[in-house]
Structure formats: structure tokens, C-alpha cells
Chains A and B, each alone.
Chain A
Amino acid sequence: MKLKNRRRERVDVIANILIFFFAILSLFPLYWLLTSSFKSSSAIYKMPPDWIPKSWALTNYQALFKNQPALRWMFNSFAVSILSTCLTVIFSALAAYAFAKLRFRYKNIIYALFLSSLLVPKEIFVVPLFKIIMAFNWVDKYAAMIFPGIATAFGVFMLRGFFETIPDGIRESGKLDGANELQIFFRLCLPIAKPGIGALFILNFVNVWNDYLWQMLVANNKNQLTLMVGTATLMTELNPNFGYKMAGAAVAAVPMVIIFLCFQRYFTKGITIGAVKE
């Protein structure tokens, strides 16, 4: 029996060694991105490459910020992400609360309708959606970048469970105090769902920030692009200098890395809510 234990242990150890190795390897593209962005145009084409740049050149970054409205892109991304996420969280919280606690006709059918939207991604109907945006005259405007993204049932799906755990007694006591439904919602129930709200906020923020296809379609003016779309345009630029392109990608990556490092806990929590039964 003891011999079997040792053999099993070995498989586990070998598996973990491999996993650890590949985990480090997963970071390789990002390491390559970072080091390449600091290489001058002569160093970047050197083969075999300098694994650590011999001299850290800032020329790529200088060229990036001089030739492209990179800061403006970052601002656009930030504005769109914050506004879109705030609206999504508020609307989703209201709806999730209604599905969890309020009674209304056809509630289950409507909820099923919302949930089924999770199976069919918006991207499939990007053509008529774009027509609507053009009809509203919203091309190149923040409205086009913000509103379609709010049509996601993910928030409702995530928050409904939170609101369901609130004991009915709290609502009853609120009613006895003479509060209306909205007041009960905002003052009593919303604070209880704060962890869920926080997780949804972070997740949604990142999703909107990283969104590409739609943001690319609705913004034509160079100054109106979001960071992801603007960075991608670097790939088709005539400038063949890869260091320059890597600098652009690095700038695009930094905000998310910072958010990840600061909010890792919220992330892990947010992703698992609704997917993992606790």
C-alpha cells in the first residue's frame, strides 16, 4: 500500500512540475512584448535575440505618443467603460431584484427570455444593429459605444442569486416603516448585495474595455477610437517597426494588468458567481 502511495505522489509531482513550467511559458508572450517594446529598431531584428535588451530604448514609446492620440484612446476607453458599466450594473441590479423578490405576471417567461440571450451573441446581428446606430446618427459618438453593450443578461444572472438570499423579513420591516419598493431596494437590499455588485462591476468594466469588434465598427474618427481599436490600427500602419507596435500593445496591456493586480480577489469571485454552486 505504501509503495502505491509513493507512485501516485510521483505522478502528482510530475504533473505539477509540468503545469508550473507551462504557467511560466504562458507568460512568455507578455515578456516578449515588454522587452521588444524597449528595443531600438536595430536590436529588434537581431537573431538570436537579446533576451534582456542591452539598452532600454524609449524611442518606440516616444514615437507612439507623438504619432498617435494614445492618451485620447485611453480616455475614450475609460469613459466608455465606466459609463457603460455603471448603467449596466444599475439596470441589472434593478432587474435582478425584481426577478428575485417582486411578483409580476409572466415573470418566469421574461426571465427565460433574458437568459436565452446569453446563448446568442450580439455579434451575429451586428449588421442590423449598425443600421440602428446609423439611424440614430450615433456613429463616432460615445452613445453608440455604450448603449448596445448594456444589453447583456449576465448581470441579471449573476445578481439574482444574491438578492434571493435576502430574507423577506427585511422587506417586511421596510414596508412597516412606510418605505416604497424603490426605497427598500436602495436602502435595505442593495447594500447586502455589495460583493456581487463589486464583482459584476469589475468584470463588466474589463469586458467593455477589451471589446473590439463593435467598438471598431462604430468609431471611424481616429480620435474617437478606444484603446484596443486604436492599438490594433498600429498593425496595419506602414511603419514596419515591430518595436513600435509592441509599445502600442504594451500601453494597451498596462491598465488591465494594474486592475488585475489590484482587484484579483474580485475577479476570481466575480467569475465564479453563477457558474460555481457553493
Chain B
Amino acid sequence: MKKQKVSWKESVTGYLFILPLFIIFAVFYFYPIIEGFRLSLFNVTAKSTTFIGLGNFIEMFHDPIFQLSVKNTVIYVVFIVILTVGIGIMISAAVFDKNPHYVSFIRGCYYLPYMVSMVVMAMVWNFLLNPSNGLICYLLKHWGFKIFNLLGNKKTVLPVIIFVTFQFNLGQAIILFIAAMIGVSQDALEAAELDGANRIQRLWHVVIPAIRPTILYVTVINIIGVLKMFVVVQLLTAGGPNNASTTLMYYLYKNAFTFSRTGYASAVGVIMFIIALLLMIPTFHIFNTGETRG
């Protein structure tokens, strides 16, 4: 195989075309990452910046709130992603081959909450779940449940956040899955029907394998989305009750901007970076179709 390297002279035009985006990336993405790694090794105060090596990390691993935030983040990622992808596929599978107007309507209903943004949804849920004035708490009390302050109880706060976020993410997943399923080859489906496969068998053996790239894409998007989840925690619970619902992202934010611990927060960022990479490896391994883009 001939490996002909492109000459520098010929490369100039290409470099010029990517230059604007590359400069933005260099300044606002790559440099902060490097700087983040660097800062994580320092103790930064208003007066001085002292090198402390792995001191931040050692303190972090001993902090029970950090440990709780890692545990919560993993719980959120696992449950929200499985629910979103699983139920997203199920809903899309039942709906994708029906009347187009019906499909549009269903898609629209599930996607509208996502459109209006998490800020709006979190505000509504905050109101609905408010212990003194909220509709949900009123209904729970009315039906005789002992626990009605769902956000104030550390046993129920995680499921509530998981539900609110999963319901929010579902819309985007449904749009993607429906589009992917519509694109599945009609020939393969007809062949399966002729072979005597019922609907469920057709879905499981033909449709789902065919949309594997989309499943991977939705899973990755959701993992990233849950990792950087912030609004729902801040507006619903502020990490509470007593840090019970805090996430790594929220922990980072509080340390950086409430406690002004720049070096420490950067160290949290490094840990999140590593966790993000660690989550991606098995994900790609499970869903890898062997195709490469690029």
C-alpha cells in the first residue's frame, strides 16, 4: 500500500479552513483541560498557589461527601441510561410503523418537555413536589401515604430525580429510535414475516440489531448528559437533603464557586474526566459494530 504523505504546501488550504474552529477549541477546550490537570496539583488560595502534588486527590478520597457524590453519579448514570434507552426502544418499537400523524403526535408529546429546557421542567417539578403546596404531595397525603415529602426524604429523593431526568431525556431518544426504525430495510422485515415471525420476533431479530449504531449513539449521549447533569440537582434539591442527592458535577460546582477551592475543584474535574473515559470503553465495546467513521 502506497503511503504518500501530503505535502505541507498542499496542506495549507486545509489548515486555513479548520483554523477558526481550531483556535476556538485550543483556547476554550484543550487549554482548560491541560490547565485543569495542572491546577489539580495545587492548593489555590487568594494569597498563594502552592504545589501539593496529589494532596487534593488524597483529601477527596477521604471525603464522605465525595464518596457519596460518586456513588450517586454512578447510580444516576446506570438507571437513567437504562430506563431511557430501554423504554425509548420499547415505545419507538410500538409506534414507528403506525400512521405518520400519530407518530408525529407521540413524538411531539414526549419531546416537548425536552424543548422547553430542564430549567422550566425543574421549576414545575419543584412546585409539584413542594411539601406544603405541591400537587403530588397533596395527592400522596390524600391517598394515605406516610412519606409525602419526596424531595426531603433521602430514600425517595434519588428515584424522584431519576424519574424526572429519564422522562426528560426520553423525548430525544424516541425521536432517534423512531427515525432509525423507520429506516430498517423493508425486505428484511418481509422476509422475517414470511418465515412466520410474529411482531415481537421481528422486532427482536431484525429491527433491534439493525439499529445498533443508533442505540450506541443514544447510550453515549445519555451517559454524557447524566454526567454533566446540574440544573435538576440545583433547582430541585440543591444536593440535599444533606447531600443525599448530590452528584460529582454539583460537588465540583460547590467546591469551585461556593467554597472557592479552585485547585480542589480542578482535581474533581480530573476524576470526572477519568470516569467519563472509563464509562465509554465498555459502552463502545458492547455496541461496537466494527464500523469506523473517519
Contacts and interface: CB of A to CB of B under 8 A. Distances in A.
A36 interface: yes
B151 interface: no
A278 interface: yes
Interface string B235-252: 100000000000001001
Contact of B106 (A20, A210, A252): A20
Interface stretch (A60-68, A123-131, A192-200): A123-131
A264 B108 contact: yes
Interface in B110-128: 110-113, 115-121, 123-128
B120 A156 contact: no
Interface stretch (B6-14, B63-71, B152-160): B6-14
A253 B5 CA distance: 52
Nearest to A180: B13
Interface in A223-253: 228, 231-232, 234-235, 242, 245-246, 248-249, 252-253
A56 interface: no
B294 A108 contact: yes
Contacts of A212: 117-119, 230-231
B167 interface: yes
Contacts of B11: 103-105
State the majority secondary structure of interface residues on B: helix
Interface stretch (B52-60, B77-85, B130-138): B130-138
A190 interface: no
Interface in A116-164: 117-132, 147-148, 150-151, 156
A277 B124 CA distance: 36
Contact of A235 (B13, B95, B126, B172): B126
Contact of B252 (A19, A45, A49, A126): A126
Interface centre among B12, B227, B231 (most CB of A within 10 A): B231
State the majority secondary structure of interface residues on A: helix
A246 B17 contact: no
Given A8-B199, A49-B135, A206-B115, A29 B121 contact: yes
B20 interface: yes
Interface string A57-91: 00000000000000000000000000000000011
B27 interface: yes
A271 interface: yes
A26 B21 contact: no
Contact of A105 (B5, B113, B127, B130): B5
A170 interface: no
Contact of A92 (B21, B33, B218): B21
B66 to A, nearest CB: 15
Interface in A173-217: 181, 185, 206, 209-210, 212-213, 217
24 contacts: A15-B94, A26-B110, A30-B124, A32-B135, A90-B20, A114-B25, A121-B276, A122-B28, A125-B33, A127-B36, A127-B265, A132-B27, A147-B28, A151-B25, A206-B115, A234-B123, A242-B133, A256-B117, A260-B112, A271-B172, A271-B175, A275-B176, A276-B183, A277-B214
A33 B124 contact: yes
Nearest to A20: B106
Contacts of A131: 35, 262
B189 interface: no
B32 A16 contact: no
B206 interface: no
A52 interface: no
B120 A249 contact: yes
A90 to B, nearest CB: 8
Contact of B13 (A30, A95, A104): A104
B117 A117 contact: no
Nearest to B230: A213
A272 B179 contact: yes
A99 interface: yes
A26 B269 contact: no
A43 to B, nearest CB: 12
A98 interface: yes
A223 to B, nearest CB: 19
5 smallest A-B Cβ distances: which pairs? A104-B14, A104-B11, A98-B17, A23-B109, A210-B117
Contacts of A121: 224, 227-228, 276
A127 B39 contact: yes
B198 interface: yes
A150 B228 contact: no
B35 A128 contact: yes
Contacts of B211: 276
B214 to A, nearest CB: 5
